[in-house]
Amino acid sequence: MRHSRRVALAALLGSALTLAIGTGAHAEDKKITLGFAQVGAESAWRTANTVSVKSAAADAGINLKFSDAQQKQENQIKAIRSYIAQKVDVIAFSPVVESGWEPVLIEAKNAKIPVILTDRNIDVKDKSLYVTMIGSDFLEEGRRAGKWLEERYKNEPGPINIAELQGTVGSAPANDRRAGLLEVIKNDPKFKVIASQSGDFTLAGGKQVMEAFVKTYGKKINVVYAHNDDMALGAIQAMEEAGWKPGKDVSVVSFDATKGGFQAMVAGKINVDVECSPLLGPQLMTAVKDIVAGKQLPKRIVTEETVFPMSVAAEVLPTRKY
Ligand code: AHR
């Protein structure tokens, strides 16, 4: 009797040990894998965004697979397909443009891999193709810039001619920053967008487009409306090479509020910078963990942002994180 009890106890302990070891190994296997398809490395904003995503993944203990699409949608689609083939737990991407995502997102859905959009939105009818979208409200950013212009020129009769340096054609920030501006100025005929061209969110692109604007429109331009800081900095170079004083002869409106943008404000060359935060990594990793844990997420998580006029730049610059 005593012997059989001992045997039973040993068997019980043995199976408990097996269970414990088994659970430990399982927990190890269960490290979440996230496939992230980045737009590229076109701007200081993007570099800060990549750093944020990589460091937040490391902090959260998430296994990150990262790809850089070099601003090409076909590269992003390839990366997403490879994440599907690798059976990652979650896919996240910052879509280079708004349209053309249905086929690959249907493939992800069929493979039961949840998708998170970060930074840029997409244009799809079936919203079940992604779980949530985390990022800025670009339309609101455009409105904020438009309201700043209204206030700045409220006592001037006009015309106020705007030269627009657009971001990547078809991208959410380029579409919405333009739409937000037009929405605000549409009832005030003194504002006119006289030129509009894409500089693809790069410094070189902004400079090249501005050189052409300087040649074609000359001093008719009152405002340069650049969809990001890199293009604004390129445009400033072009204007200075033409002997202009950006920030004085011409108002320069920009987006992102990077350190580079702030330094240009301190130097008096950018008049206002509408904030767009790239520091999305921590929110993204929380969302990834919540999805894997089966929690419900809001369809849209909007980043909180503000507007920085040149007058506050020197005071705020030391606190900027990107
Ligand atoms: O999608 C965010 C935009 O993309 C930023 O404004 C720009 O700098 C970046 O390249």
Ligand 1 atom closest to the CA of 172, numbered from 1: 1
Written as one string, the DSSP assignment of 28-85 is HHT--EEEEEE--S-SHHHHHHHHHHHHHHHHHT-EEEEEE-TT-HHHHHHHHHHHHH
Instruction: Measure 180 CA to ligand 1 centroid, in angstroms.
Output: 16
Q: Is residue 314 part of a domain?
A: no
pLDDT digits (tens, 9 = 90+) for 5-21: 554 555 544 444 444 44
For residue 159, whether the previous peptide bond is cis, meaning omega lies within 30 degrees of 0, is yes
Instruction: Measure 178 CA to ligand 1 centroid, in angstroms.
Output: 14
- Residue 263 and residue 283 share a domain: no
**d(C-alpha 259, C-alpha 255), whole Å:** 12
Instruction: Measure 157 CA to ligand 1 centroid, in angstroms.
Output: 33
Please indicate whether residue 42, judged by its CB atom, sits closer than 6 Å to ligand 1: yes
- Residue 151 and residue 114 share a domain: no
Ligand 1 atom closest to the CA of 255, numbered from 1: 6
pLDDT (0 to 100) of residue 49: 98
Q: Is residue 189 part of a domain?
A: yes
- Residue 233 and residue 271 share a domain: yes
- CATH number of residue 68's parent domain: 3.40.50.2300
pLDDT (0 to 100) of residue 168: 98
- Residue 63 and residue 78 share a domain: yes
DSSP, res 255: E
- Residue 157 and residue 64 share a domain: no
pLDDT (0 to 100) of residue 24: 44
pLDDT (0 to 100) of residue 62: 98
Which of 96, 92, 120, 118 is CA-nearest to residue 105?
Answer: 92
Lookup result for tokens 């009832």: 187
Q: Is residue 247 part of a domain?
A: yes
Ligand 1 atom closest to the CA of 119, numbered from 1: 1
- Residue 59 and residue 119 share a domain: yes
Q: Is residue 3 part of a domain?
A: no
Please indicate whether residue 138, judged by its CB atom, sits closer than 6 Å to ligand 1: no
- Residue 50 and residue 142 share a domain: no
Q: Tokens representing 154?
A: 């409220």
The domain of 234 spans 138-276
Whether the model clears a pTM of 0.85, i.e. scores above it, the answer is: yes
Count of the separate structural domains present in the chain: 2
- Residue 284 and residue 232 share a domain: no
- Residue 66 and residue 120 share a domain: yes
- Residue 229 and residue 149 share a domain: yes
- Residue 241 and residue 124 share a domain: no
Please indicate whether residue 46, judged by its CB atom, sits closer than 6 Å to ligand 1: yes
Q: Is residue 125 part of a domain?
A: yes
Q: For the residues 26-55, what does the mean pLDDT come to?
A: 91
**d(C-alpha 227, C-alpha 52), whole Å:** 22
Q: Is residue 267 part of a domain?
A: yes
pLDDT digits (tens, 9 = 90+) for 89-142: 999 999 999 999 999 999 999 999 999 999 999 999 999 999 999 999 999 999
